[in-house]
Amino acid sequence: MANIGVIGTGYVGLTTAVCFAELGHKVIGFDIDLSKIEVLSSGKSTIHELGMTELIVKNLANNNLTFRSNIETIAECEFIFLCVPTPQDADGSADLSYVIKATKNLSTLVKKDATLITKSTVPVNAWKEVVKALNRSDVAVVSNPEFLREGSAIADFFNPDRIVVGCASSEKAKQVSDLYKQPDVETIITDNSSAELIKYASNSFLAIKLSYVNEVAALCEVVGANAKDVLFGMGKDTRIGSRFLEPGPGWGGSCFPKDVRALRVTAEDNAISMSLLSAAIDSNEKTHRRIVDKAEKELGNSLIGKTICIWGLTFKANTDDLRESPSIAVIERLIGRGASVVAFDPVITNVDNKKIKIAKSIEESCTAADAILVLTEWEQFKKVNPNSVMDLVSNKVVIDSRNILDKNLWVNSGFNFVGNGWQ
């Protein structure tokens, strides 16, 4: 059992704090946001994540977990995880100011021979600035990137594909990886810079993979092939892997877009051409446009005065996150081409763009719609019986950009069904 401090209780920090407490460590979660500390200390989760509230309540009760706003108590901790935001700067690079500020605040408080661990997504060589800001030769700086996905963060913490730890001292690196109590999981012990780059390189590769998947889907549509089979066939090649091969309206969220742009800046700053990064971003925007083109084509090549029913606003299912959501990107283009939009999402009741009408139910969203457009792969949409909405819509067209609906079910109810990369 170790005494662990987690600085920042956002998505990554809260998951890290709660899961380490669940492993039996004594964990203090720190945040400057007092209201967040109050909510968390009352046993409520501040993020929409399956199983989070239960683990918070359990570990508050057994005293493995506490939440604090006064940083002084950090002196109790042997291991301190930095999980503060690294938002995107105007030029696309990652803003390190929160990381540096938090490190400076800690520098005089951290106990002798403690270990400071960066878990925030930081650009390569950021650890050097952390070492400088910390200015403590007795405190090791370890880079330990996370690979948590929203919607499955707790499962991802306890079932990682690998644990990555970077540090000049392999002994310190080992101590950090041991905290995860996952002896059977492959642990990659390397230097700080390599550990930092593994995160960006992985996320950017997945984004490039998805851009390619969506381009394959586009090609399948015009040559008459079936993207479901083509991608399935591709995924059987273990060099390619069967995961992250689902076509959609594009990739988004709080990580992929930001990380691809930040890696591009790092490459440019080092005069290295990583053209695939820009290509992936451009291709992703083309995918947004392709989904809108589909709707326009199905509705007589004009969206002017048409009402589009949207199913799904979040960037993917099982999260309430709208950050860089491909749904919003598609919707804004639909509106730009003259359509009005009525959207239903299981967890979203409000959006910034007031041109997007939010429906309280599936039925309300379908009423008088010229087409139904599925944009997020929520389980709820798979279960919709077309007969329950066929008298509500004014036109029986369903466009499934996530390929989650049962085509025969919809066709048998008289709907014109349009898949993504297959027909």
Residues that bind ligand UDX (CB under 6 A): 146-150, 203, 210, 244-246, 248, 251-256, 315-316, 326
What angle separates helix 192-223 from helix 227-235, to the nearest 10 degrees?
A: 140
Residue number with CB closer to ligand UDX (141 or 245): 245
DSSP three-state, residue 77: coil
Q: Which is nearer to ligand UDX, 29 or 326 (CB)?
A: 326
Nearest CA to 248 out of 48, 72, 402 is that of: 402
CB of 402 to ligand UDX, least distance (A): 8
The β-bridge partners of 5 are 28, 80
Contact 286, 279 (CB under 8 A): no
Q: Give the span between the Cα atoms of 312 and 133, in whole angstroms.
A: 43
Minimum CB–partner distance for residue 346 and ligand UDX (Å): 15
Residue closer to ligand UDX (CB basis): 120 or 203 = 203
Q: How far is the CB of 122 from ligand UDX (least distance, A)?
A: 13
What is the chain's length? 423
Rg for the chain, CA atoms, rounded: 23
Contact 374, 345 (CB under 8 A): no
Q: How far apart are CA 399 and CA 403, in angstroms?
A: 9
Q: Would residue 167 show up in a list of annotated catalytic residues for this protein? A: no
410 closest CA partner among 311, 341, 303, 292: 311
Q: Order of strands, edge to edge, in the sheet holding 356-358?
A: 356-358, 340-344, 307-311, 371-374, 397-400, 416-418
> Least distance in Å: CB of 344 to ligand UDX?
18
Q: Quick one: 212 or 244, whose CB is closer to ligand UDX?
A: 244
Q: Which residue, 27 or 255, is less far from ligand UDX as judged by CB?
A: 255
Please state the closest distance from residue 323 (CB atom) to ligand UDX, in A.
9
Q: Measuring CA to CA, how many Å separate 144 from each of 84, 104, 254, 284? A: 13, 19, 19, 29
SS3 282: helix
Minimum CB distance to ligand UDX smaller for 127 or for 251 = 251
Q: Out of 167, 220, 255, 366, pick the active-site residue.
A: 255
Least Å distance between CB 385 and ligand UDX?
25
Compare residues 94 and 134 and give the one whose CB is closer to ligand UDX.
Answer: 94
Query: What is the nearest approach in angstroms of ligand UDX to the Cβ of residue 148?
Result: 5
> What gap in Å lies between CA 423 and CA 415, rounded to an integer?
13
Separation CA 132–CA 141 (nearest Å) = 10
CA 328 – CA 322 distance, rounded (Å): 8
Q: Kind and range of the H or E element at 400?
A: strand 397-400
Question: Which residues form the catalytic set?
Answer: 255
